[in-house]
Amino acid sequence: MKAAEMYKVEGYGAIVTGGASGIGLSFVEVLAENGARVTMLDVSQERLDAETKRLKAKGWDVRGMKVDVTDHPALDRAFDETAKLYGRLDVCFANAGIDPGIGFVTVDRKQRVPEGAIENYDDARWNRVIDINLNGVFATIRAAARHMKPRKSGRIIVTTSMAAFEIEAGIGASYMAAKAGAAHLTRNAALELAKYQITVNAIAPGWFITNIGGGWMTKKEVQDEVAEWVPLRRVATTEDMKGLALFLASPASSYITGAQMVIDGGSNIGNVFD
């Protein structure tokens, strides 16, 4: 098989949670521009309408559905409707997530932040992050597995983070716990579903320019500061995500499961300041 054939997703049926912005939108775009039929799930009807209109204008087969991943019955219905529409479900990106806000230090690590300290962490903040970033991933994997197992085929890709294995003290503790849990859940699901030729892998992004957390990474001064810590000396755009996403969604990755692939410009291997 030629390399180009290995990356074909034409005709696939796909779902992306949190698909109307940021990294999730890059997943939608790379699948759709390569011929997949994609349903993006998101909590923002405004973003869904705008992105569906924009992507359809390109001639791509994209639709949007307003669904909150914490509403598990609604999530199940969205999967059922989508699988029925496409006649198949080949790919699922469990991507929806939120940033819990400040951690116990400032992002530049120069001072402590009392509001982000563990003793001031309230239950509502903790529970909401876990509910979306971990429980939502569980419910998404479960919904996908119900449709993929009978066909003995499928690709499930979970968005984790560098925070799954490395503490980012400028972000709240619940984010680290949720992403680490999602990474281990990925491995558990991969082992369980391997018998059915369903692969389950995770993508662990580093510093990407998105609107998460109020869009603080869209600020030029923040990008410049963060780039000093990254060995490749730049922060990533969502375009940097597309190659890896297509690889994991396509036949090219057919013998990879239970992996967490880091895409961070080398940040996890250390920092240099020369």
Six-digit token string for 38 = 């994609």
Is 12 a residue of the active site? no
7, 175, 196, 255: the catalytic one is: 175
Q: In the chain, how long is the greatest CA-to-CA distance?
A: 57
**Whole-number Å distance between alpha carbons of 152 and 73:** 24
Torsions phi, psi for 109 (to 5 deg):
65, 20
Alpha carbon 132 to its chain centroid, in Å, reads 12
Which residues pair with residue 66 across a beta bridge?
42
Angle at 13 between CA 7 and CA 150, to 5 degrees: 105
d(CA 39, CA 131): 22
- The residues near 6 (Cβ < 8 Å, ≥ 6 apart) are 250, 251, 252
Catalytic residues: 175
